[in-house]
A and B are shown apart, each in its own frame.
Chain A
Amino acid sequence: MAARSYNLRVYPGFRAVTLLCLFVLYAPLVVVTIYSFNASQSITNWEGVSLRWYADVFTGPESEKFKLAARNSFVIALIAASVATTIATLAATAIIRGGRFRLRTWSFGLISLPLMVPEIVTAVATLIFFNAIGFDRGLLTILLAHIAFCIPFAYLPISARMQGIEASYEQAAQDLYATRRQAFTRVLLPLMMPGIISGFILAFIVSLDDFIITNFVKGAGVETLPTAIFGAVKQGIKPNIMAISTMLLGVSVVMVALSWLISRRDNTK
């Protein structure tokens, strides 16, 4: 065999493209974060570091609007993620630990459906549906719509986790006369916790982030953070929007990092 002077796995330039890729992904976020600390009234000139726009978000003329929107967003995300995580955990138990049955593939397809239908189509369909059954638009319609599209995001880490847990744990429990319910609550659920928490966090972020569906199903005057930000941005990008964006960005990054760390923890050993 001829000795090769190069490593077959390595292609010149691929490392540079990867670094470019990371640069492209992070540059806009870093720039907005930096400019959110700008002391200037204008978004173009840099006049030194200041927290004035963060103060403006909490005490400025638009602060009431943003606080209310933030409260709506967090309450909806909390409830939607809790409900979606519960539904997804039960469904994953049936699909991964319920043997083979005809509805199995169909159920998995149904759960993935919100990922396949384009968001704008889901938004239109949900609006039409609430209109057809005479359901007034408001916080409740937003919540219901969010539960639906949060289910697949909660399901994916939960089912991945459940695939990784040996059946022998519950079988051992049942051999020792645990009922099926006890095997579920005392053995499977604790082992599942990292997956469930990570599913909950992803569902929470997805709900917190949604703009398109919320924009369609929210009633007049009801705002969540993304719809309030969108409304403000339509008037032009202002420094206080960059401060809000940076805070929301921080919440997402911290939660994803948390989810990642938790899902890597292996408590079956």
Chain B
Amino acid sequence: MAGGGTAGGGPRTDTYAPVRLWLLLPAWVSLTILVLAPVSMMLVYSFLTKEFRGGVIWEFSLSAYDQFFCNRGLFGDEPCSIEWTYLLIFWRSIWQAGAATLLSLAIGFPTAYFIATRPARQRALWVFLITIPYWVNLLIRTVSMKFLLRDQGPLNDALLGLGILSEPLSIVNTNLAVQLGLFYSYLPFMVLPIYAAVERYNFSLSEAAADLYAPRWVILRRIVIPAVKPGIVAGCILVFVPSLGSFLAPDLLGGAKTFMIGSLIEEQFKGNAGNWPFGAAASMILLTMVLILLLIFARQQARAGNG
């Protein structure tokens, strides 16, 4: 992601030009076999017939996509009307990921701005403090969040002890818990790109606006935020995309009412009860959504880079 589509800047030299294809060979072979081929195979599987004990029968079928989009009544013989079950799960995932993104932006923007305006020597340390939690196991972070938010957990204990609450808040198993979990999982992704953008921002623009009697919050809204918008968009994408397909936060912090895409997909491959072509189709739909988002993002960044 760093450096956008430009491979992180131009080449430094051409010292190794004669052997460059050999040097790239291991990367191409391993990633072709382990990423490109599997994704292609997943596309193929989404058009196959399901085998009842898990797996597939090699027979072309549209039934996975039909099951996703079409409601054909109790006996499966009616004409197609829109099937809401899965669209609703996708919609809920978009909504949850969106809420987590907004929450991250609300906390992440002031944080990134604050860090970027520290003296140069302090910045690296602040950035380091923000990134450490990201490197801690996501599972452990999610479990920690659950432990903290439990009905008899430390958060409720503290709020009750301080007399702020008279009875414990039930947060676990609600949408809020999942949103907090997603927010907590990906918050550093919001801070870092905004920080990078604010660090490059030319503060003489703020000076000029202030000299023309613009109040400071107007300067923030009309000068600073438009100037660092590529960083804000990057942060939102980096939080929204992984939240959309996340599995751990909805699974551990949510309940039946917070079912998201990740859990829907996971169920199709668990044990013998699943439907592999349907799981593959749902994954393809998720992947398509994400790639469209990234494409819009790449074009927007390219335009910002040229403008």
Residue positions of A touching B, CB distance < 8 A:
1-2, 4, 6, 8-11, 13-15, 17-18, 20-22, 24-29, 31-32, 35, 43-44, 86-88, 90-91, 93-101, 103-105, 107-122, 124-129, 131-132, 144-145, 147-148, 151, 156, 159-160, 162-163, 165, 167, 170-171, 174, 180, 183-184, 202, 205, 208-209, 211-212, 216, 226, 229-230, 233, 237, 241-242, 245, 248-249, 252-253, 255-257, 260, 264
- Shortest Cβ-Cβ A-B pairs, 5 listed: A99-B14, A98-B20, A118-B245, A28-B144, A129-B38
Residues of A within 8 A of B2 (CB): 156, 160
Bound CA–CA A132/B266 (angstroms): 18
**Inter-chain contact total with CB atoms closer than 8 Å:** 311
| Chain A residues whose CB sits within 8 angstroms of the CB of B269 once the complex forms | 124, 127, 216
Instruction: Pick the interface stretch among B62-70, B84-92, B129-137.
Output: B129-137
User: Are A100 and B113 closer than 8 Å at their CB atoms?
Assistant: no
Q: Is A18 within 8 A of B55, CB to CB?
A: no
**Which residues of B approach A to under 8 Å, CB–CB?**
1-2, 5-21, 23-24, 26-28, 30-32, 34-39, 41-42, 45, 55, 107-108, 110-111, 113-115, 117, 124, 126, 128-133, 135-141, 143-148, 152, 154, 184, 187-188, 191, 203, 206-207, 210-211, 216-217, 219-220, 241-242, 244-248, 252, 261-262, 265-266, 269, 276, 279-280, 283, 286-287, 290-291, 294
Q: Are A125 and B23 in contact (CB under 8 A)?
A: no
A25, A43, A112, A167: the one contacting B15 at CB < 8 Å is A167
Q: Is the Cβ of A25 less than 8 Å from the Cβ of B38?
A: no
For the residues of A in contact with B, the DSSP-based class is helix
Listed by A's residue number, 28 A-B pairs whose Cβ atoms lie within 8 Å are A8-B207, A9-B203, A14-B113, A24-B184, A25-B130, A28-B184, A31-B147, A97-B16, A100-B11, A108-B8, A113-B36, A116-B294, A119-B245, A121-B42, A121-B245, A121-B286, A124-B283, A148-B30, A151-B27, A165-B12, A209-B138, A209-B139, A211-B139, A212-B247, A226-B139, A233-B139, A248-B140, A256-B135
Contact B35 A21 (CB under 8 A): no
> In whole angstroms, what is the CA distance A81 to B41 when docked?
26
State whether A237 touches B8 (Cβ < 8 A): no
CB distance from B193 to the nearest CB of A (A): 14
Of A25, A26, A111, A114, most buried by chain B (CB within 10 Å of CB) is A25
In the complex, the answer to whether A4 meets B283 with C-beta atoms within 8 Å is: no
Q: Is the CB of A229 within 8 A of B143?
A: yes
